[in-house]
Amino acid sequence: MGEYTIGGKTLKSRFFLGTAQYPSPKILLDSLAASEAEVITVSLKRQMGDGTSMKNEQSLYFDALKQSGAALLPNTAGCKTAHDAINVALMAREVFETNWIKLEVIGDDYTLQPDMFELVKAAEKLIQEGFEVFPYCTDDLVTCQRLLDAGCKVLMPWGAPIGSGQGLINTFALRILRARLPDAFLVIDAGIGSPKDAAHAMELGFDAVLLNSAVSQSHDPVKMAKAFKLAIEAGRLGYEAGVMSQQDMANPSTQVSGRPFSL
C-alpha cells in the first residue's frame, strides 16, 4: 500500500488502534503486535476491563506502549468543554512527550456525539499552542470544513456512535466528505463493529480506520486485531485498484459472440 506522511511521521499501516478495556495488559500488547498498527490512542485515565484502576501499573503500562514503537496519540476522552479539553491536551503533551492529540469534546452523554462548536474552539487554540490536532467529529461537511479552516490537517468523522458496533450508518454523508474534501486526511473513527466495516470504509477512499471496542471486546482480541489488519489492507487495495460500478441489470461476464475462441 506504500508509505504516507501524517503529522510529520512516515507510516505504512492505516490501522489506528485504541488501548482501552482490554482483558489484561498482556492481551493488549499482543493485540497491538498482531495489528501491526503504527498509531495507538491512549488516555490519561486508564482502566482495566473490569473497571479497576491501573494506578499501580500505570508507569510500566505507559512504558510498554512507548516501547511498542507505535506513535502515541493521546486523547481528551471525557471532556465536555473546550476549556477542559485544552487542559487535558496540555497535560498529555507533558506525560506522553508528543504534540499529537486526538481531540474529543462530547456534547451528549447518550450518543457520545461530539459538540462541534466546542470542538472547533478547542482545535483553534490547540493549533496555536503547536499541537497536531486529530479531531473526533461528526460527518457534517460544513463543520468539517471549519475544522480544516482552523488548521486541522486530519479529520476523524464517526461511522456510528462510539462503541456501538453499528458500522457505517450514513455512507452517503461519508461519500460526500471524501468527494468534497479530497486533500484532507480522513480517518473513520468510532462505531466500527467488524472487519467488513473497516474494509468498507477503506473502499470508500478513507485514509485510515481507528477503532477500539471491536477488538478489545471481542472473544479473541489478538485474532480480531489481525483480522482487522487484513481487512484494512484489502479495503485499501480495492480502493486503489478501482471498485467496479454497480449495475441495475445483469451484465454477463462472458460475452457470447458468433464464433468460438481460436486457440
Q: Which residues are annotated as a binding site for 1-deoxy-D-xylulose 5-phosphate?
A: 163, 190-191, 212-213
Retrieve residue 69's grid coordinates: 514503537
Binding site per annotation, positions: 163, 190-191, 212-213
CB 70 within 8 A of CB 37: yes
Decide if 12 is catalytic: no
Strand, helix or coil for residue 209 = strand
CA dihedral 108, 84, 120, 39 (to 10 degrees): -90
Distance, in Å, from the CA atom of 150 to the CA atom of 118, rounded to the nearest integer, reads 13
- Among 9, 45, 80, 102, the active-site one is 102
How many CB atoms sit inside 10 A of residue 83's CB?
14
β-partners of residue 133 are: 101
- DSSP letter assigned to residue 2: -
Contacts of 192 (CB under 8 A, 6+ apart): 159, 160, 165, 167, 198, 201, 209, 211, 214
How many CB atoms sit inside 10 A of residue 131's CB?
24
Distance, in Å, from the CA atom of 106 to the CA atom of 82, rounded to the nearest integer, reads 10
Q: Among residues 43, 27, 33, 42, which one has the least CA distance to residue 13? A: 33
CB 197 within 8 A of CB 167: yes
Amino acid 258 reads G
Q: Taking the mean position of all CA atoms in its chain, how far away is CA 135?
A: 10
Catalytic residues, by residue number, are 102
